[in-house]
Amino acid sequence: MDVLKQLLTYAFLLALVWAGITYLPRLSRVQLSVDYSEINVPGVEEYKSYSLDRAATIPMLRHGDAVCYRIAKGDDAMANGFGYVAGVPGDLVQITKGKVVVNGEVNRFSGDTLLAEVGPLIIPENHVYVVTTHHNTDSVARGPLPAAALRGRVGDFP
């Protein structure tokens, strides 16, 4: 009887470990829903969840990294936005002929804009320039995002 109890205890502990390994990473995932219209990239599925690296800070971000950021919706509500890192601190960003140009090169993740020719702007310390296809909530619409606005790096984005 004691042996059975011991086996059950071990089985329970093993199940806990397995559940931890299986489900804990899933807690750190984000789902593309509200602001899906911002992203127009083949292969990105709405309602699919993507892994989120919350530990990724601005110095760890590179051009082209997909990130999830907070969007203020008013009344203290926050939504998730998704975009690609176009500029990190020290980069020169400008808008030329409706294109987002970073360090002299047209950014391939950004959609066109009707804005006048402006810049260059040097991306400030502890900020990141995030672009999307439609510019409703990204840095073209809201300016460089501070670290506080970043939720993390999205791992398996196309």
Partner 1 sequence: MRNPLGDLNVGVVLAAVGIVLFLVTLSIAWSSWNRWTGIASITTARARLLDGNDAVVKTRSTQAARELPKEAAAVLLDIDLTSPADFTRLEALERTAASRDVPLVRTAEALSLAIRGKEPEKVGGSDGTLIAALVDLNKGSPPHAITLDKESPPHHSVMVIVYAKQLQAALLSGDRALIKDASGVLALLMPAHPEGSALAFINAILDPAMTTELVSQAASRTPDALRQRVARLMAPIVQERSSDLMAISLGIPSHTPADQLLTAQVAAAVAQDGPIDRIALVRRCLDGGRYDLAKSLLPKMPPERQAELRNIIMNQEGNLAELIKAGATDPALKPRLSTLRCRPGFVAFHISNDLGMIPKTGIEASINAQVVLKTAIQQNGSLFTIIVPPAQVGQATLEVRVGDTVLATKQVSL
Closest separation in Å from C-beta 93 to partner 1: 6
Q: Which of 119, 133, 136, 155: binder of partner 1 (CB under 8 A)?
A: 119
Question: Is 116 a binder of partner 1 (CB under 8 A)?
Answer: yes
Nearest-angstrom CA–CA distance, 7 and 3: 6
Alpha carbon distance 34, 77 (integer Å): 13
**What is the identity of the amino acid at 9?**
T
x/- letters, 51..80, toward partner 1 (CB under 8 A)? -------------------xxxxx-x-x--
Nearest CA to 39 out of 54, 50, 53 is that of: 50
Asked if 140 and 115 touch (Cβ cutoff 8 Å), the reply is yes
Name the 3-class secondary structure at 109.
coil
Residue whose C-alpha is closest to residue 109's, from 10, 25, 27, 40:
40
User: Minimum distance from CB of 3 to partner 1 (Å)?
Assistant: 41
Binding of partner 1 by 27 (CB under 8 A): no
Interface residue with partner 1, options 92, 99, 134, 136 (CB under 8 A):
92
Instruction: Kindly state the smallest distance separating residue 74's Cβ from partner 1, in Å.
Output: 6
**Residue whose CB is less far from partner 1, 42 or 74:** 74
Place of tokens 């008013």: 74
Q: Which residues bind partner 1 (CB under 8 A)?
A: 70-74, 76, 78, 89-95, 97, 114-127, 140-144, 146, 148-149
